[in-house]
């Protein structure tokens, strides 16, 4: 719509004088303030805002990420990792003490080993922190995406390397056997065996829950299959299996089923059920190469 | 001057907040003011305004139609009352739950076939029909339960029972129940009644139909197996939970055993939530649904300190009945395997 006002060459009427003054002031103001206001400014503003928001999600400061992922966002940074690692190792020594009644000297040696272990873990984390500190990832670029993936890969690697679940391989775990006397060693082995059995039972639970859903197992059948699996558990490194697949992996159970005496296993089920169980056993068999590749078999 | 003012609501406009913008705005206002007095205007100012905005500026002009909102969806939306919209959402969600419940039905049917592989054709059809009806009913009931807001009552303000309550408490006298509290209790009890366990509903329907078809004895057998299956599933959940605590706290064999028994004695469906919804608050892991009071007595002081008292997990998802119902539903549904319909049931 065009609004037109006709100019007048005659004298300005008194009634219109104030309007004229306002126009002059406003035009001067507009000139002094730079370019005139444009309708598209509003749109440009929104676009800028949206762009800023988008950029905010498209770039990530890795320092901030490390704070959140390692330092719980508490602002204490990587120090949290040290405190946590040490507290965890101390709990482990407490547990050993509870089972084996450690002497003061044994406890001191294990504590020292735990400190060295925590320090080694910290070195890994600190090197990681140095590599990525001050860097920003831009997800819009290929390089940014690759950096992000590499960042996570390395972090996972370090977390796995320093993970408590692989405790048999950490320093206190490696020296404990030589520190204990025979009585203590027996108690320690009994604890380790019991823990291993409980870990294996969880994998079994995961696999059997799915199996019974597929084939409608009765209670008697369930008991029979549990007895078979407990009689001959696979020699899997449970700590490492947990790192790789969590604590409740059905495939490990199915893999174990594939290693059982198949005649005894078949005898548990009716013909209809066995057809389906057979399929599951075959899936379990296919896990052998992966277990070999990942070196999950206990030495 | 082209003015494209898009109603930006309460959004701050960059252009309007730049230095000098206020002066320019003043200019705009002035220009419009001049425009309004065009009869006496002395200066020619051409204002090219978009139709809608011009109409908005010129109150005498007829209102321009707004073209940015599609007319049909708006009309449909307007036609839906809040109750109808809520109902629609419930039905949509129920449709999503149906396939999950159908898997649970298939589980039950599988077990039934193992137990009674000689069921007559008519009996099978009737059982499946009853089961499928229960699936539909259960999905709808579950969806309704999930769409009913769970209101955690606010802690009572002031002294319960008022002045008389305070005096009564001081002298060990019984405190009269306040009407508001009574009403709240009744409301909660009513809401509780409405919560239907869809998994139970399906199993019950299959069992009832089985009894109807082939007799009480077989129905009892089936129910017994269902109950044993549930017991096994719960035991596995508890074992897994204790395993997670073991990873965190280095429990001894004795502690694991004692905690397993303590948790198992007081089973609640919220426990399953603790498996999949562990959270970390201020560097401490919390397990919604875990009965901390039953675990803590079996821990050493160092372990207790690491676990904490679970205060932060009290009101988290899984700690109320609605959450527990949901927990059970997903615990069962996640385990149930997707299988093709067994033609034996539909012969």
The answer to whether the CB of B336 falls within 8 A of the CB of B103 is yes
**What are the residues facing A120 on neighbouring strands?**
none
The answer to whether B340 contacts chain A (CB < 8 Å) is: no
The answer to whether the CB of A248 falls within 8 A of the CB of B242 is no
CB contact under 8 Å between B110 and A213, yes or no, is yes
Cα angle at A98 between A97 and A104, to 5 degrees? 30
Q: Which residues of A touch B282 (CB under 8 A)?
A: 72, 74
Q: Residue B75's pLDDT is what?
A: 58
Would you call A154 helix, strand, or coil by DSSP? helix
Element containing residue A17 per DSSP (H, E): helix A14-32
The residue of B10, B23, B249, B342 whose CB has the most chain A CBs within 10 angstroms, and thus the best one to mutate to test that interface, is B23
Q: Which residues of B touch A76 (CB under 8 A)?
A: none
Nearest to B335 by CA among B178, B86, B106: B106
The residue of B252, B254, B264, B308 whose CB has the most chain A CBs within 10 angstroms, and thus the best one to mutate to test that interface, is B252
CB contact under 8 Å between B33 and A99, yes or no, is no
Region B50-74: mean pLDDT is 42
Closest by Cβ to A45, choosing from B15, B31, B339: B15
* Nearest residue of chain B to residue A37 (CA atoms): B24
- Span B259-317, pLDDT tens digits: 999 998 888 877 777 777 667 776 678 887 788 899 999 999 989 988 888 776 665 55
Q: What's this model's pTM, rounded to 2 decimal places?
A: 0.68
> Residue B16: pLDDT band by 50, 70, 90 thresholds?
very low
The alpha-carbon gap from B286 to the nearest alpha carbon of chain A, in Å, equals: 14
Spell out the residues 6+ positions from residue A97 whose beta carbon is closer than 8 angstroms to its own. Answer: A107
User: Does residue A201 or residue B159 have the better pLDDT?
Assistant: A201
Q: What is the dihedral of CA B193, B274, A204, A235, to 10 degrees?
A: 180
> β-strand B47-49 against B2-3: which pairing, if any?
parallel
In angstroms, the CA A96 to CA A179 distance is 12
Tokens 């602002």 map to which residue? A75
CB contact under 8 Å between B49 and A3, yes or no, is yes
Element containing residue A1 per DSSP (H, E): none
Q: Flag residues of chain A having pLDDT under 50.
A: 1-3, 5-12, 165-166
Quote the mean pLDDT of chain B.
Answer: 72
Question: B331 vs A60, A226, B243, B300, B336, CA distance in Å?
Answer: 36, 21, 18, 31, 9
CB contact under 8 Å between B28 and A26, yes or no, is yes
In angstroms, the CA B300 to CA B255 distance is 10
Q: Is the pLDDT of residue B206 over 90?
A: yes
Closest by Cβ to B41, choosing from A5, A32, A217: A5
The most confident of B193-197, B213-217, B254-258, by mean pLDDT: B254-258
In angstroms, the CA B130 to CA A223 distance is 31
CB contact under 8 Å between A29 and B23, yes or no, is yes
Closest by Cβ to A3, choosing from B35, B232, B249: B35
- Span A49-106, pLDDT tens digits: 666 666 556 788 887 777 777 665 555 666 777 777 788 888 888 988 988 899 999 9
Region B95-109: mean pLDDT is 92
The most confident of A42-51, B143-152, B183-192, by mean pLDDT: B143-152
The alpha-carbon gap from B291 to the nearest alpha carbon of chain A, in Å, equals: 20
Compute the half-sphere exposure of residue A265: CA atoms within 13 Å on the CB side of its CA. 20
CB contact under 8 Å between B14 and A92, yes or no, is no
- In sequence order, what DSSP letters do the residues of A40-65 get, joined into one string? HHHHHHHHHHHHHHHHHHHEEEHHHH
Nearest to A281 by CA among A197, A200, A199, A210: A210
In angstroms, the CA A30 to CA B23 distance is 6
Q: Which residues of B touch A84 (CB under 8 A)?
A: 283
Q: Residue B53's pLDDT is what?
A: 40
User: Does residue B158 or residue B342 have the better pLDDT?
Assistant: B342
The 3-state DSSP composition of chain A as helix, strand, coil percent (nearest 5) reads: 75, 5, 20
In angstroms, the CA B311 to CA B276 distance is 19
Q: How far apart are the first and last CA of chain A?
A: 87
Q: Is the pLDDT of residue B72 over 80?
A: no
ipTM at complex level: 0.71
Least confident of A74-83, A178-187, B208-217, B331-340: A74-83
- In sequence order, what DSSP letters do the residues of B162-205 get, joined into one string? HHHHHHHHHTTPPPPPPHHHHHHHHHHHHHHHH---HHHHHHHH
């Amino acid at each position: 719509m065009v609004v037109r006002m006709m100019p007048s060459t005659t004298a300005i009427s008194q009634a219109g004088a104030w309007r004229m003054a306002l126009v002059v002031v406003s035009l001067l103001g507009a000139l002094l303030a730079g370019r005139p206001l444009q309708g598209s400014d509003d749109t440009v503003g929104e676009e800028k805002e949206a762009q800023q928001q988008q950029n905010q999600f498209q770039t990530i400061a890795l320092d901030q990420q490390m704070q959140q992922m390692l330092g719980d966002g508490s602002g204490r940074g990587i120090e949290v990792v040290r405190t946590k690692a040490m507290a965890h190792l101390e709990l482990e020594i407490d547990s050993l003490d509870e089972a084996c009644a450690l002497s003061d000297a044994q406890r001191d040696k294990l504590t020292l080993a735990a400190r060295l272990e925590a320090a080694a873990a910290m070195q890994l984390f600190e090197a990681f922190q140095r590599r990525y500190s001050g860097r920003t990832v831009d997800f819009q670029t290929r390089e940014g995406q690759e950096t992000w993936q590499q960042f996570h890969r390395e972090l996972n690697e370090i977390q796995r390397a320093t993970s408590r679940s692989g405790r048999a391989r950490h320093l206190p775990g490696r020296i404990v056997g030589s520190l204990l006397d025979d009585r203590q060693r027996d108690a320690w082995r009994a604890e380790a065996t019991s823990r291993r059995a409980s870990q294996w039972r969880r994998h079994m639970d995961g696999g059997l829950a799915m199996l019974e859903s597929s084939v409608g197992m009765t209670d008697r059948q369930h008991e029979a299959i549990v007895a078979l699996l407990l009689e001959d558990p696979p020699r899997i490194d449970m700590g490492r299996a947990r790192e790789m697949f969590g604590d409740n992996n059905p495939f490990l159970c199915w893999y174990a089923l594939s290693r059982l005496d198949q005649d005894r296993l078949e005898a548990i089920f009716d013909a209809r059920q066995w057809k389906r169980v057979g399929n599951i056993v075959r899936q379990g068999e296919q896990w052998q190469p992966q277990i070999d590749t990942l070196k999950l078999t206990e030495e | 001057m082209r003015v494209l003012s898009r109603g930006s609501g309460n959004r701050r406009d960059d252009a309007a907040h730049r230095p000098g913008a206020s002066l320019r705005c003043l200019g705009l206002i002035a220009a419009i003011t001049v425009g309004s007095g065009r009869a006496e205007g002395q200066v020619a100012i051409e204002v090219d305004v978009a139709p809608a905005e011009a109409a908005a500026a010129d109150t005498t002009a007829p209102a321009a139609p707004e073209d940015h909102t599609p007319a049909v969806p708006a009309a449909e939306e307007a036609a839906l009352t809040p109750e109808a919209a809520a109902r629609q959402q419930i039905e949509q969600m129920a449709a999503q739950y149906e396939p999950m419940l159908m898997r649970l039905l298939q589980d039950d049917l599988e077990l039934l076939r193992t137990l009674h592989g000689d069921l007559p054709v008519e009996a099978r059809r009737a059982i499946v029909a009853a089961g499928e009806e229960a699936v539909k009913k259960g999905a709808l009931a579950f969806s309704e339960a999930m769409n009913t807001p769970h209101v955690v009552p606010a802690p009572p303000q002031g002294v319960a029972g008022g002045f008389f309550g305070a005096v009564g408490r001081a002298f060990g006298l019984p405190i009269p129940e306040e009407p508001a509290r009574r009403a709240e209790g009744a409301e909660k009890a009513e809401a509780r009644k409405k919560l239907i366990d869809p998994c139970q509903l399906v199993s019950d329907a299959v069992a009832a139909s089985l009894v109807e078809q082939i007799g009480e004895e077989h129905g009892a057998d089936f129910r017994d197996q269902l109950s044993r299956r549930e017991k096994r599933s719960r035991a596995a959940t508890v074992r897994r939970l204790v395993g997670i605590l073991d990873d965190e706290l280095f429990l001894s064999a004795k502690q694991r055993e004692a905690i397993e028994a303590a948790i198992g004695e007081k089973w609640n469906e919220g426990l399953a939530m603790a498996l999949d919804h562990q959270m970390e608050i201020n560097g401490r892991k919390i397990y919604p649904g875990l009965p901390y009071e039953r675990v803590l007595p079996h821990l050493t002081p160092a372990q207790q300190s690491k676990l904490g008292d679970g205060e932060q997990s009290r009101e988290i998802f899984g700690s109320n009945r609605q959450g527990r119902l949901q927990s059970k539903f997903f615990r069962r549904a996640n385990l149930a395997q997707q299988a093709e319909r067994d033609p034996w049931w539909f012969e």
